[in-house]
Protein backbone atom coordinates (compact mmCIF):
# COMPACT_ATOMS: atom_id res chain seq x y z
CA UNK A 1 0.00 0.00 0.00
CA UNK A 2 1.35 3.39 -0.91
CA UNK A 3 1.23 6.32 1.49
CA UNK A 4 3.16 8.22 4.09
CA UNK A 5 5.22 5.90 6.29
CA UNK A 6 4.25 6.28 9.93
CA UNK A 7 7.58 5.13 11.35
CA UNK A 8 10.50 5.66 8.97
CA UNK A 9 13.02 2.80 8.86
CA UNK A 10 16.34 3.33 10.57
CA UNK A 11 14.99 5.95 12.96
CA UNK A 12 17.09 7.10 15.90
CA UNK A 13 16.30 8.36 19.39
CA UNK A 14 15.24 12.01 19.24
CA UNK A 15 14.97 14.56 22.03
CA UNK A 16 11.43 15.52 21.16
CA UNK A 17 8.15 15.33 23.02
CA UNK A 18 5.55 13.39 21.07
CA UNK A 19 1.81 13.99 21.06
CA UNK A 20 1.27 10.79 23.04
CA UNK A 21 3.90 11.82 25.60
CA UNK A 22 2.20 15.21 26.03
CA UNK A 23 -1.05 13.40 26.82
CA UNK A 24 0.73 11.25 29.39
CA UNK A 25 2.10 14.33 31.13
CA UNK A 26 -1.31 16.03 31.11
CA UNK A 27 -2.97 12.91 32.50
CA UNK A 28 -0.49 12.78 35.39
CA UNK A 29 -1.03 16.49 36.07
CA UNK A 30 -4.80 15.99 36.27
CA UNK A 31 -4.30 13.21 38.79
CA UNK A 32 -2.06 15.40 40.96
CA UNK A 33 -4.55 18.28 40.94
CA UNK A 34 -7.20 16.30 42.74
CA UNK A 35 -8.25 12.65 43.05
CA UNK A 36 -11.89 11.76 42.66
CA UNK A 37 -13.71 9.84 45.36
CA UNK A 38 -14.96 6.76 43.48
CA UNK A 39 -16.20 4.70 46.42
CA UNK A 40 -19.76 5.54 45.36
CA UNK A 41 -18.94 4.58 41.79
CA UNK A 42 -17.72 1.15 42.87
CA UNK A 43 -20.80 0.48 44.99
CA UNK A 44 -23.23 1.50 42.26
CA UNK A 45 -21.32 -0.63 39.76
CA UNK A 46 -21.79 -3.67 41.98
CA UNK A 47 -25.49 -2.92 42.47
CA UNK A 48 -25.92 -2.45 38.71
CA UNK A 49 -24.50 -5.90 38.06
CA UNK A 50 -26.84 -7.54 40.55
CA UNK A 51 -29.88 -5.86 39.01
CA UNK A 52 -29.27 -7.79 35.79
CA UNK A 53 -28.89 -11.24 37.35
CA UNK A 54 -32.53 -12.15 36.74
CA UNK A 55 -32.08 -11.58 33.00
CA UNK A 56 -28.85 -13.56 32.60
CA UNK A 57 -30.27 -16.68 30.99
CA UNK A 58 -32.21 -14.75 28.39
CA UNK A 59 -29.28 -12.59 27.48
CA UNK A 60 -26.91 -15.53 27.11
CA UNK A 61 -29.28 -17.17 24.64
CA UNK A 62 -29.81 -13.98 22.66
CA UNK A 63 -28.38 -13.98 19.17
CA UNK A 64 -25.84 -11.19 18.59
CA UNK A 65 -27.31 -8.20 16.80
CA UNK A 66 -24.91 -8.22 13.87
CA UNK A 67 -25.46 -6.37 10.62
CA UNK A 68 -23.25 -5.09 7.88
CA UNK A 69 -23.99 -3.14 4.73
CA UNK A 70 -21.78 -4.04 1.81
CA UNK A 71 -21.51 -1.00 -0.43
CA UNK A 72 -19.15 0.02 -3.24
CA UNK A 73 -16.03 1.98 -2.29
CA UNK A 74 -17.43 4.98 -4.15
CA UNK A 75 -19.32 7.00 -1.56
CA UNK A 76 -21.87 8.22 -4.12
CA UNK A 77 -23.62 4.82 -4.16
CA UNK A 78 -26.77 4.32 -2.10
CA UNK A 79 -26.52 2.20 1.03
CA UNK A 80 -28.20 -1.22 0.72
CA UNK A 81 -31.88 -1.15 1.62
CA UNK A 82 -31.90 -4.20 3.90
CA UNK A 83 -31.25 -2.13 6.99
CA UNK A 84 -32.59 -3.59 10.23
CA UNK A 85 -35.27 -1.28 11.69
CA UNK A 86 -34.48 -2.44 15.21
CA UNK A 87 -30.90 -1.28 14.81
CA UNK A 88 -32.26 2.01 13.44
CA UNK A 89 -34.22 2.46 16.67
CA UNK A 90 -31.16 1.66 18.79
CA UNK A 91 -29.08 4.16 16.84
CA UNK A 92 -31.72 6.83 17.45
CA UNK A 93 -31.63 6.04 21.15
CA UNK A 94 -27.86 6.36 21.22
CA UNK A 95 -28.09 9.63 19.30
CA UNK A 96 -30.60 11.01 21.83
CA UNK A 97 -28.26 10.21 24.70
CA UNK A 98 -25.50 12.16 22.96
CA UNK A 99 -27.67 15.22 22.32
CA UNK A 100 -26.67 18.43 24.15
CA UNK A 101 -30.02 18.70 25.95
CA UNK A 102 -29.98 15.20 27.41
CA UNK A 103 -28.89 14.63 30.99
CA UNK A 104 -25.71 12.67 31.60
CA UNK A 105 -26.56 9.23 32.90
CA UNK A 106 -25.65 9.05 36.58
CA UNK A 107 -24.31 6.00 38.35
CA UNK A 108 -27.43 5.78 40.47
CA UNK A 109 -29.58 5.64 37.32
CA UNK A 110 -27.23 3.02 35.93
CA UNK A 111 -28.14 0.68 38.80
CA UNK A 112 -31.71 0.45 37.44
CA UNK A 113 -30.85 -0.25 33.81
CA UNK A 114 -31.49 -3.47 31.91
CA UNK A 115 -31.01 -4.81 28.42
CA UNK A 116 -29.49 -2.49 25.84
CA UNK A 117 -29.06 0.45 28.21
CA UNK A 118 -27.35 -1.74 30.81
CA UNK A 119 -24.94 -3.03 28.16
CA UNK A 120 -24.14 0.52 27.09
CA UNK A 121 -23.54 1.47 30.72
CA UNK A 122 -21.16 -1.42 31.44
CA UNK A 123 -19.35 -0.91 28.15
CA UNK A 124 -18.00 2.33 29.66
CA UNK A 125 -16.69 0.88 32.92
CA UNK A 126 -13.22 -0.30 31.85
CA UNK A 127 -9.94 1.55 31.56
CA UNK A 128 -8.74 1.22 27.96
CA UNK A 129 -5.08 1.40 26.95
CA UNK A 130 -3.80 3.50 24.10
CA UNK A 131 -1.61 1.76 21.54
CA UNK A 132 2.12 2.39 21.74
CA UNK A 133 2.95 4.71 18.84
CA UNK A 134 6.03 6.03 20.63
CA UNK A 135 8.13 4.82 23.54
CA UNK A 136 7.22 6.45 26.88
CA UNK A 137 9.72 8.58 28.75
CA UNK A 138 11.07 7.22 32.05
CA UNK A 139 10.22 3.74 30.79
CA UNK A 140 12.60 1.92 33.13
CA UNK A 141 11.85 4.09 36.16
CA UNK A 142 8.10 4.71 35.98
CA UNK A 143 6.54 1.79 34.14
CA UNK A 144 5.50 -1.80 34.78
CA UNK A 145 5.20 -4.46 32.11
CA UNK A 146 3.04 -7.58 31.87
CA UNK A 147 2.14 -10.17 29.23
CA UNK A 148 -1.34 -9.69 27.83
CA UNK A 149 -3.42 -12.91 27.70
CA UNK A 150 -5.42 -13.60 24.58
CA UNK A 151 -9.15 -13.64 25.18
CA UNK A 152 -12.19 -11.57 26.11
CA UNK A 153 -11.57 -8.48 28.22
CA UNK A 154 -14.25 -8.30 30.88
CA UNK A 155 -15.42 -6.78 34.13
CA UNK A 156 -15.90 -9.32 36.95
CA UNK A 157 -18.11 -8.33 39.90
CA UNK A 158 -18.82 -10.45 42.99
CA UNK A 159 -21.62 -9.33 45.35
CA UNK A 160 -24.55 -10.76 47.30
CA UNK A 161 -23.54 -14.37 46.72
CA UNK A 162 -23.06 -14.32 42.95
CA UNK A 163 -20.32 -13.46 40.46
CA UNK A 164 -21.04 -11.81 37.12
CA UNK A 165 -18.73 -11.07 34.20
CA UNK A 166 -19.40 -8.62 31.36
CA UNK A 167 -17.54 -8.23 28.09
CA UNK A 168 -16.20 -4.97 26.69
CA UNK A 169 -19.43 -4.39 24.79
CA UNK A 170 -21.39 -4.69 28.04
CA UNK A 171 -22.94 -8.09 27.34
CA UNK A 172 -23.03 -10.69 30.10
CA UNK A 173 -20.40 -13.39 29.61
CA UNK A 174 -20.94 -15.64 32.65
CA UNK A 175 -22.97 -15.72 35.85
CA UNK A 176 -21.50 -18.16 38.36
CA UNK A 177 -20.51 -18.81 41.98
CA UNK A 178 -16.90 -18.09 42.87
CA UNK A 179 -14.54 -18.02 45.84
CA UNK A 180 -14.18 -14.25 45.50
CA UNK A 181 -15.45 -12.40 48.58
CA UNK A 182 -19.27 -12.55 48.55
CA UNK A 183 -19.11 -14.34 45.21
CA UNK A 184 -21.13 -17.40 46.23
CA UNK A 185 -23.84 -18.37 48.71
CA UNK A 186 -21.57 -20.40 50.96
CA UNK A 187 -20.55 -19.71 54.54
CA UNK A 188 -16.91 -19.50 53.48
CA UNK A 189 -17.35 -16.46 51.21
CA UNK A 190 -20.79 -15.00 51.98
CA UNK A 191 -20.83 -11.51 53.49
CA UNK A 192 -22.99 -8.43 53.96
CA UNK A 193 -24.22 -6.28 51.09
CA UNK A 194 -21.39 -3.80 51.72
CA UNK A 195 -18.86 -6.43 50.60
CA UNK A 196 -18.24 -6.64 46.86
CA UNK A 197 -15.28 -6.98 44.49
CA UNK A 198 -14.62 -5.57 41.02
CA UNK A 199 -11.83 -7.04 38.90
CA UNK A 200 -10.49 -6.23 35.45
CA UNK A 201 -9.90 -9.57 33.73
CA UNK A 202 -9.29 -11.35 30.46
CA UNK A 203 -11.18 -14.62 30.02
CA UNK A 204 -8.97 -17.19 28.30
CA UNK A 205 -11.25 -19.72 26.64
CA UNK A 206 -8.76 -22.63 26.13
CA UNK A 207 -8.22 -23.14 29.87
CA UNK A 208 -11.48 -21.53 31.10
CA UNK A 209 -9.50 -19.12 33.28
CA UNK A 210 -10.07 -15.51 34.26
CA UNK A 211 -6.68 -13.82 34.19
CA UNK A 212 -6.73 -10.78 36.48
CA UNK A 213 -4.86 -7.76 35.11
CA UNK A 214 -6.17 -5.10 37.51
CA UNK A 215 -8.32 -4.60 40.58
CA UNK A 216 -10.80 -1.75 41.10
CA UNK A 217 -12.49 -2.77 44.33
CA UNK A 218 -11.80 -5.32 47.06
CA UNK A 219 -14.28 -6.25 49.80
CA UNK A 220 -16.06 -2.92 49.36
CA UNK A 221 -12.91 -0.79 49.41
CA UNK A 222 -12.46 1.29 46.27
CA UNK A 223 -9.07 1.17 44.54
CA UNK A 224 -9.99 3.46 41.64
CA UNK A 225 -8.02 6.31 43.19
CA UNK A 226 -5.01 4.17 44.07
CA UNK A 227 -1.91 4.10 41.90
CA UNK A 228 -1.20 1.12 39.66
CA UNK A 229 1.73 0.26 41.92
CA UNK A 230 -0.58 -0.13 44.92
CA UNK A 231 -3.35 -1.88 42.95
CA UNK A 232 -0.90 -4.48 41.65
CA UNK A 233 0.43 -5.12 45.16
CA UNK A 234 -3.14 -5.48 46.46
CA UNK A 235 -4.14 -7.67 43.52
CA UNK A 236 -1.23 -10.05 44.07
CA UNK A 237 -1.54 -10.35 47.83
CA UNK A 238 -5.30 -10.27 48.41
CA UNK A 239 -6.31 -12.76 45.73
CA UNK A 240 -3.75 -15.21 47.08
CA UNK A 241 -5.44 -15.01 50.49
CA UNK A 242 -8.72 -16.34 49.08
CA UNK A 243 -9.62 -19.59 47.38
CA UNK A 244 -10.21 -17.78 44.09
CA UNK A 245 -6.87 -18.97 42.72
CA UNK A 246 -7.78 -22.57 43.42
CA UNK A 247 -9.07 -25.17 41.00
CA UNK A 248 -12.73 -25.05 39.88
CA UNK A 249 -15.26 -26.70 42.16
CA UNK A 250 -19.01 -26.87 42.79
CA UNK A 251 -18.95 -23.41 44.37
CA UNK A 252 -16.14 -21.97 42.26
CA UNK A 253 -16.91 -22.61 38.61
CA UNK A 254 -13.94 -20.85 36.98
CA UNK A 255 -10.26 -20.62 37.74
CA UNK A 256 -8.77 -17.19 38.48
CA UNK A 257 -5.10 -16.40 37.97
CA UNK A 258 -3.08 -13.21 38.47
CA UNK A 259 -1.06 -12.05 35.47
CA UNK A 260 2.54 -11.45 36.64
CA UNK A 261 3.64 -7.80 36.73
CA UNK A 262 7.30 -6.75 36.44
CA UNK A 263 9.42 -3.65 36.76
CA UNK A 264 10.21 -2.57 33.22
CA UNK A 265 13.82 -3.66 32.75
CA UNK A 266 15.41 -5.59 29.90
CA UNK A 267 15.28 -8.99 31.61
CA UNK A 268 11.61 -8.56 32.53
CA UNK A 269 10.72 -7.35 29.04
CA UNK A 270 12.34 -10.41 27.48
CA UNK A 271 10.48 -12.69 29.92
CA UNK A 272 7.16 -11.01 29.14
CA UNK A 273 7.86 -11.06 25.40
CA UNK A 274 9.04 -14.63 24.91
CA UNK A 275 9.19 -16.39 28.28
CA UNK A 276 6.85 -19.26 29.22
CA UNK A 277 3.30 -18.28 30.23
CA UNK A 278 0.28 -20.52 30.89
CA UNK A 279 -1.85 -18.76 28.28
CA UNK A 280 -1.76 -17.73 24.64
CA UNK A 281 0.02 -14.36 24.57
CA UNK A 282 -1.58 -11.39 22.80
CA UNK A 283 0.97 -8.61 23.12
CA UNK A 284 2.40 -6.66 26.05
CA UNK A 285 0.83 -4.14 28.42
CA UNK A 286 2.80 -1.23 29.90
CA UNK A 287 1.41 0.55 33.00
CA UNK A 288 2.65 3.83 34.42
CA UNK A 289 3.16 3.13 38.11
CA UNK A 290 1.43 6.43 39.05
CA UNK A 291 -1.71 5.79 36.96
CA UNK A 292 -5.06 5.74 38.72
CA UNK A 293 -7.85 3.54 37.36
CA UNK A 294 -9.67 5.98 35.06
CA UNK A 295 -12.57 4.91 32.88
CA UNK A 296 -12.07 5.13 29.14
CA UNK A 297 -8.92 5.69 27.12
CA UNK A 298 -5.74 6.59 28.96
CA UNK A 299 -2.17 7.24 27.72
CA UNK A 300 -0.87 5.97 31.08
CA UNK A 301 -1.49 2.38 29.95
CA UNK A 302 -0.30 1.30 26.50
CA UNK A 303 -0.40 -1.95 24.56
CA UNK A 304 2.20 -3.14 22.07
CA UNK A 305 2.46 -6.27 19.97
CA UNK A 306 4.25 -7.82 17.02
CA UNK A 307 3.83 -11.03 15.02
CA UNK A 308 5.90 -13.07 17.47
CA UNK A 309 3.97 -12.28 20.64
CA UNK A 310 0.50 -12.11 19.06
CA UNK A 311 -1.30 -13.94 16.28
CA UNK A 312 -3.51 -10.88 15.84
CA UNK A 313 -1.03 -8.17 14.93
CA UNK A 314 -3.21 -6.92 12.08
CA UNK A 315 -6.97 -6.56 12.38
CA UNK A 316 -8.99 -9.15 10.46
CA UNK A 317 -12.39 -9.04 8.78
CA UNK A 318 -15.49 -11.01 9.84
CA UNK A 319 -14.06 -14.13 8.14
CA UNK A 320 -10.78 -13.88 10.04
CA UNK A 321 -8.76 -12.69 7.03
CA UNK A 322 -6.44 -9.67 6.93
CA UNK A 323 -7.99 -7.27 4.39
CA UNK A 324 -5.89 -5.76 1.63
CA UNK A 325 -6.67 -2.28 2.91
CA UNK A 326 -6.59 -1.34 6.57
CA UNK A 327 -10.10 -1.10 8.05
CA UNK A 328 -11.03 1.60 10.57
CA UNK A 329 -14.25 2.29 12.47
CA UNK A 330 -15.24 5.93 13.01
CA UNK A 331 -18.25 7.71 14.49
CA UNK A 332 -20.46 9.90 12.31
CA UNK A 333 -21.21 13.38 13.67
CA UNK A 334 -24.05 15.72 12.76
CA UNK A 335 -21.81 17.87 10.54
CA UNK A 336 -20.84 14.83 8.43
CA UNK A 337 -17.37 14.46 9.91
CA UNK A 338 -16.16 11.04 11.05
CA UNK A 339 -14.11 10.89 14.22
CA UNK A 340 -12.28 8.62 16.64
CA UNK A 341 -13.38 7.83 20.21
CA UNK A 342 -10.65 10.02 21.72
CA UNK A 343 -11.39 12.95 24.00
CA UNK A 344 -11.26 15.28 22.18
CA UNK A 345 -12.05 13.21 19.07
CA UNK A 346 -9.73 13.24 16.06
CA UNK A 347 -11.40 14.02 12.74
CA UNK A 348 -10.36 11.66 9.92
CA UNK A 349 -12.59 13.03 7.18
CA UNK A 350 -16.05 14.27 6.19
CA UNK A 351 -18.75 12.52 4.17
CA UNK A 352 -20.08 14.44 1.17
CA UNK A 353 -23.44 16.21 1.82
CA UNK A 354 -25.05 14.57 -1.25
CA UNK A 355 -24.04 11.11 0.01
CA UNK A 356 -25.53 11.84 3.43
CA UNK A 357 -28.76 13.06 1.80
CA UNK A 358 -29.06 9.90 -0.31
CA UNK A 359 -28.64 7.74 2.81
CA UNK A 360 -30.35 9.95 5.38
CA UNK A 361 -32.59 7.10 6.53
CA UNK A 362 -29.67 4.83 7.39
CA UNK A 363 -26.75 7.08 8.31
CA UNK A 364 -27.48 8.97 11.50
CA UNK A 365 -25.21 10.94 13.87
CA UNK A 366 -23.68 8.70 16.49
CA UNK A 367 -23.51 5.63 14.25
CA UNK A 368 -20.27 3.70 13.80
CA UNK A 369 -19.11 3.41 10.19
CA UNK A 370 -16.40 1.25 8.67
CA UNK A 371 -13.84 2.75 6.28
CA UNK A 372 -10.77 1.52 4.42
CA UNK A 373 -7.53 3.49 4.25
CA UNK A 374 -6.68 3.84 0.56
CA UNK A 375 -3.43 3.94 -1.38
CA UNK A 376 -2.63 7.52 -0.34
CA UNK A 377 -2.48 6.41 3.29
CA UNK A 378 -2.15 8.88 6.14
CA UNK A 379 -0.23 12.15 6.20
CA UNK A 380 1.08 12.98 9.65
CA UNK A 381 2.38 16.13 11.31
CA UNK A 382 4.00 15.70 14.74
CA UNK A 383 2.39 12.30 15.06
CA UNK A 384 -1.13 13.54 14.27
CA UNK A 385 -3.04 12.66 11.07
CA UNK A 386 -3.79 15.75 8.97
CA UNK A 387 -4.87 13.99 5.76
CA UNK A 388 -6.42 10.53 5.56
CA UNK A 389 -7.34 8.69 2.36
CA UNK A 390 -10.44 6.91 3.69
CA UNK A 391 -13.17 5.17 1.70
CA UNK A 392 -16.67 4.29 2.92
CA UNK A 393 -17.20 0.54 3.38
CA UNK A 394 -20.43 0.18 5.37
CA UNK A 395 -21.99 0.15 8.82
CA UNK A 396 -19.78 -1.26 11.57
CA UNK A 397 -20.57 -4.60 13.18
CA UNK A 398 -22.98 -3.91 16.04
CA UNK A 399 -21.53 -6.79 18.09
CA UNK A 400 -18.32 -4.82 18.70
CA UNK A 401 -17.80 -2.56 21.69
CA UNK A 402 -19.97 0.52 21.18
CA UNK A 403 -17.17 2.93 20.38
CA UNK A 404 -15.11 4.02 17.40
CA UNK A 405 -11.44 3.14 17.04
CA UNK A 406 -8.96 5.30 18.90
CA UNK A 407 -6.43 7.40 17.02
CA UNK A 408 -3.50 5.43 18.46
CA UNK A 409 -5.04 2.12 17.38
CA UNK A 410 -5.38 3.41 13.81
CA UNK A 411 -1.82 4.73 13.84
CA UNK A 412 -0.46 1.50 15.33
CA UNK A 413 -2.24 -0.63 12.74
CA UNK A 414 -0.98 1.68 10.01
CA UNK A 415 2.56 1.46 11.36
CA UNK A 416 2.32 -2.34 11.55
CA UNK A 417 1.85 -2.35 7.78
CA UNK A 418 4.75 0.02 7.13
CA UNK A 419 7.41 -0.54 9.79
CA UNK A 420 6.37 -0.30 13.44
CA UNK A 421 8.21 -0.09 16.74
CA UNK A 422 10.12 -3.33 17.32
CA UNK A 423 11.04 -5.15 20.52
CA UNK A 424 14.63 -4.09 19.86
CA UNK A 425 13.55 -0.44 19.83
CA UNK A 426 11.96 -0.87 23.25
CA UNK A 427 14.99 -2.72 24.63
CA UNK A 428 17.26 0.05 23.32
CA UNK A 429 15.08 2.69 25.00
CA UNK A 430 15.40 0.90 28.34
CA UNK A 431 19.15 0.48 27.98
CA UNK A 432 19.76 4.11 27.06
CA UNK A 433 17.28 5.73 29.45
CA UNK A 434 18.74 8.41 31.69
CA UNK A 435 17.60 10.52 34.62
CA UNK A 436 15.70 12.87 32.29
CA UNK A 437 13.79 9.93 30.83
CA UNK A 438 14.21 11.40 27.37
CA UNK A 439 13.61 8.21 25.33
CA UNK A 440 10.97 9.46 22.92
CA UNK A 441 11.30 8.16 19.40
CA UNK A 442 10.18 10.11 16.38
Instruction: Let me know if residue 284 belongs to a domain.
Output: yes
Question: pLDDT value at position 95?
Answer: 38
For the domain that residue 350 is a member of, what is the CATH number? Answer: 3.30.470.30
Question: pLDDT value at position 322?
Answer: 92
Looking only at the bridges linking them, the beta strands covering 221-222 and 152-159 are: unpaired
Q: What is the mean pLDDT of each run of 10 residues along the chain (442 residues)?
A: 35 56 83 60 68 51 30 31 34 36 36 77 92 93 97 94 92 94 87 88 97 96 94 95 91 95 96 97 97 95 97 87 94 96 93 93 93 93 85 86 90 92 95 56 38
Instruction: Let me know if residue 263 belongs to a domain.
Output: yes
Question: pLDDT value at position 127?
Answer: 96
3-state secondary structure of 206: helix
Whole-number Å distance between alpha carbons of 299 and 285: 12
Instruction: Let me know if residue 10 belongs to a domain.
Output: no
Instruction: Let me know if residue 14 belongs to a domain.
Output: no
Q: Where in the sequence is the domain holding 38, given as residue range(s)?
A: 19-432
| Global confidence as pTM | 0.79
Whole-number Å distance between alpha carbons of 184 and 186: 6
Question: pLDDT value at position 55?
Answer: 52
**CB–CB of 135/426 below 8 Å?**
yes
Instruction: Let me know if residue 278 belongs to a domain.
Output: yes
Q: 423-432 vs 266-274: helix axis angle to the nearest 10?
A: 160
Number of domains in the chain: 1
Question: pLDDT value at position 34?
Answer: 54
Question: Which sign does the torsion angle of CA 120, 125, 129, 130 carry?
Answer: positive
Instruction: Let me know if residue 437 belongs to a domain.
Output: no
Instruction: Let me know if residue 112 belongs to a domain.
Output: yes
Q: What is the DSSP letter of 135?
A: P
Instruction: Let me know if residue 6 belongs to a domain.
Output: no
Amino acid sequence: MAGTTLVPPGRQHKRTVSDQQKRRELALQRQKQGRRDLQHHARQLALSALNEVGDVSGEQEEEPAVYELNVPRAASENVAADYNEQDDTEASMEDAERSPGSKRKTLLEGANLKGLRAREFFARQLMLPEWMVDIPSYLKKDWFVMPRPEGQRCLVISANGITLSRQRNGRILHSFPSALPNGARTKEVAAGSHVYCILDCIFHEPDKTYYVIDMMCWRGYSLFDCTAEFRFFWMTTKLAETGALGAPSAHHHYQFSVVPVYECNVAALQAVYSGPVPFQRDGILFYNRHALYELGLTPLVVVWKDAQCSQYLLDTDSQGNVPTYQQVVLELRSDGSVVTCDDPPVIFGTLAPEFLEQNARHLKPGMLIRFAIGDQGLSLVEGKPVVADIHFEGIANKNRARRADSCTKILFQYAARHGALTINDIVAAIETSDEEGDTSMG
